[in-house]
């Protein structure tokens, strides 16, 4: 059985860390975009996550970014 770390804060936040999660595979599978606008045009919604392209408008390439309100 895997070990888990449970972090609790306040009455509503519970974060569970544990089990097996392959972050490298998750990150490699993220779609890559040059802007939030491009991500939304391709079907992502506000709150979705993508990887920044090398020609991203505001960040260096290879960063995990969340689509923000436009």
**Domain chopping of the chain, boundaries:** 21-70
pLDDT of residue 21: 75
Tell me the C-alpha distance between 39 and 51, whole Å. Answer: 10
> pTM for this one?
0.69
Secondary structure of the chain: what % helix, strand, coil (to 5)? 20, 30, 50
Tens digit of each residue's pLDDT (9 = 90 or more) over 18-68: 677 788 888 899 999 999 999 999 999 999 999 999 999 999 999 999 999
pLDDT of residue 20: 76
pLDDT of residue 18: 65
């Amino acid at each position: 059985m895997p070990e888990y770390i449970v972090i609790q804060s306040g009455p509503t936040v519970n974060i569970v860390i544990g089990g097996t999660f392959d972050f490298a595979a998750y990150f490699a599978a993220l779609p890559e975009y040059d802007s939030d606008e491009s991500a939304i045009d391709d079907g992502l919604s506000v709150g979705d996550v993508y990887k920044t392209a090398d020609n991203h408008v505001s960040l260096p390439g290879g960063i995990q970014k969340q689509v923000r309100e436009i």
